Amino acid sequence: MIHNIAIDGPAGAGKSTIAKKVAKDLSCIYVDTGAMYRAMALYLIRQNVNRNDTVEIGTVCQNADISIEYQNGVQIVLLNGENVNDYLRTEEVGNMASVSSAVPEVRQKLLDLQRKLAASMSVVMDGRDIGTTILPDAEVKIYLTASSLTRAKRRFLELQEKGTDCELSEIQKDIEERDQRDMNRTVSPLKQAEDAVLVDSSDMTVDQVVARILEIYHSKIADGETADEN
Ligand code: DC
């Protein structure tokens, strides 16, 4: 029986950390759709595409073949056959991903890949439009958020740990701009699905958020299975 969990929310809400742990606990696969958009952004940066030219983005993206492999449960993103995992987590790539993911041709290219993964196995999939567009029938939908300051502080610590020089105020500004773009684009904007459960992690630890999502999962799946039996 395939059960899918959709986790959507703004940048820096902790989706990937949480989704990985939930997937591990439920022995299913974690699918990071942001990494697919980031791989596409990396391709566009490498091709020197003008980030303000949506027509050029729509054309050039057609030459990027993005696929996914799993090695020991870790998602590997392949861009035209190259493992690009190590290049995806920079602010430059994240900002380009936020811009290019608003282009319909980019979304269309990644939609099939995401749906096929979820149709073939139980997944915990995180992104922006998973509950609303990609998997409208997911058994469990979570909208995970936190204040922009909390999210900026988390990203700041993450970058500092990696030894990257950064300013908290700059990161918060970046996060707020990214929220604006992700929430206000025409195609698949970030928003809470009607049947998603809101989880605000501003004052929660990672373990508390994971426990809350597992509780929601078990209550929904248990309810669903009882309903099937009746
Ligand atoms: O979650 P992330 O920071 O890795 O995502 C990078 C960008 O990709 C984000 O600003 C918006 C976009 N994205 C999207 O539009 N839809 C998704 N399902 C996942 C990410």
Choosing from 89, 121, 153, the residue where a domain stops is: 121
How many whole angstroms from 160 Cα to the centroid of ligand 1?
A: 22
Same domain? For 210 and 166 the reply is yes
Same domain? For 44 and 153 the reply is no
Same domain? For 150 and 221 the reply is yes
Rounded CA separation 156/52 (Å): 27
Residue 182 makes CB contacts below 8 A (sequence gap 6+) with 10, 11, 98, 101, 128, 189, 190
User: Residue 226's pLDDT is what?
Assistant: 45
How many whole angstroms from 171 Cα to the centroid of ligand 1?
A: 16
Same domain? For 134 and 113 the reply is no
User: Residue 158's pLDDT is what?
Assistant: 87
User: Which run of H or E residues covers position 115?
Assistant: helix 104-120
Same domain? For 156 and 227 the reply is yes
Same domain? For 39 and 3 the reply is no
User: Residue 221's pLDDT is what?
Assistant: 87
Residue 180 makes CB contacts below 8 A (sequence gap 6+) with none
In the block, which residue shows the tokens 């204040």?
147
To test the pocket of ligand 1, the residue of 85, 107, 128, 187 to mutate (highest count of ligand atoms within 8 Å of its CB) is 128
Same domain? For 18 and 42 the reply is no
C-beta of 33 in contact with ligand 1 (< 6 A): yes
Residue 30, beta-bridge partner list: 124
C-beta of 34 in contact with ligand 1 (< 6 A): yes
User: Residue 130's pLDDT is what?
Assistant: 98
Instruction: Name the residue range of residue 101's domain.
Output: 29-121
C-beta of 4 in contact with ligand 1 (< 6 A): no
Mark 192-229 as b/e (b = at least 16 C-beta within 10 Å): bbeebbebebeebeeeebbebbbebbeebbeeeeeeee
Task: Write the DSSP assignment of 187-215 as a string of letters.
Answer: SS-----TTPEEEE-TT--HHHHHHHHHH
C-beta of 135 in contact with ligand 1 (< 6 A): no
Same domain? For 22 and 35 the reply is no
Q: Ligand 1 atom closest to Cα of 181?
A: 10
Q: Which residues of the chain have pLDDT under 50?
A: 226-230
Please report, for the domain that includes residue 185, its CATH number.
3.40.50.300
C-beta of 155 in contact with ligand 1 (< 6 A): no
Same domain? For 159 and 62 the reply is no
* Residue of the CA atom closest to atom 2 of ligand 1: 34
What's the structural domain count of the chain? 2
Same domain? For 161 and 214 the reply is yes
Choosing from 86, 121, 156, the residue where a domain stops is: 121
The pair phi, psi for residue 170, each rounded to 5°, is -65, -40
β pairing state of 74-79 and 82-83: antiparallel
Structure tokens at 107: 């979304």
Choosing from 83, 102, 121, the residue where a domain stops is: 121
Same domain? For 149 and 215 the reply is yes
β pairing state of 5-8 and 123-127: parallel
User: Cβ of 137: how many Cβ atoms within 10 Å?
Assistant: 9
Same domain? For 132 and 201 the reply is yes
- The whole-model pTM stands at 0.91
